[in-house]
Amino acid sequence: MDNLAESIRNNLLLRLKSPLIGAFCLSWIFLNLKGITLFILVDTPQRIEMVKAKSWLFYDDFFLPVLISLIYLVAFPVFHLVYDTFIDKYVTLRRIAISRKKISAEIEADPDYIKAVKANHLEVLIKEKENLENQISELENILHYKLCKGVSKEDEEWVHPMESIANKMRAAINKINSK
């Protein structure tokens, strides 16, 4: 007898674990909550009368719970998929961007990083200054060659302004070197 009761119990639990049957039972309970609550709260003779008086309707007791179950079993996973897609595409990307900005700000606020950046900027400035000095020297050599060779009237229009610009650039480089 115990084996039979245990077998029935295990069979019922197995059936209730099925998504369709479980969803059907939950939707039927939800739709009949008032009657179930009343059934639990009344005395035994009234319960018997309620069971005898119950008329089973196809629409209320079968079709509507099955419809709700199917909607739950189909719509909920679709909704969950849409939600996960939204989270993955928008929210997670936004969180990553915010996290990157925060990490970047923390790194940029680090004194060692600031020193390294300043040192790098100084190196770049020194290289650019040297490059500029070389170009000024080259320009001065070309102008000196033109002036030594003799400047024609046509060349005079651009040689003298270029010489003035080269002198100003040389003065600026000397001023930078003196600091």
| pLDDT (tens digit per residue) in 89-119 | 888 888 888 888 887 777 777 777 777 777 7
Number of domains making up the chain: 2
Q: What is the DSSP string of 14-63?
A: HHHHSHHHHHHHHHHHHHTHHHHHHHHHS-HHHHHHHHHH----HIIIII
Domain with 147, as residue range(s), is 111-178
Q: Which of 108, 143, 161 is the last residue of a domain?
A: 108
- Whether residue 140 sits in one domain with residue 88: no
Measured CA to CA, the distance from residue 153 to residue 18 in angstroms comes to 102
Task: Based on the fold, state whether residues 25 and 76 are members of the same structural domain.
Answer: yes
User: Which amino acid is it at 58?
Assistant: F
R_g of the chain computed on alpha carbons: 44
Residues 118 and 112: their CA atoms lie apart, in Å, by 10
What is the pTM (predicted TM-score) of this model? 0.39
Q: Is there a single domain that holds both residue 104 and residue 30?
A: yes
**Same domain for 126 and 79:** no
Question: Residue 9 has what pLDDT?
Answer: 78
Write down which residue in 74, 108, 142 finishes a domain.
108
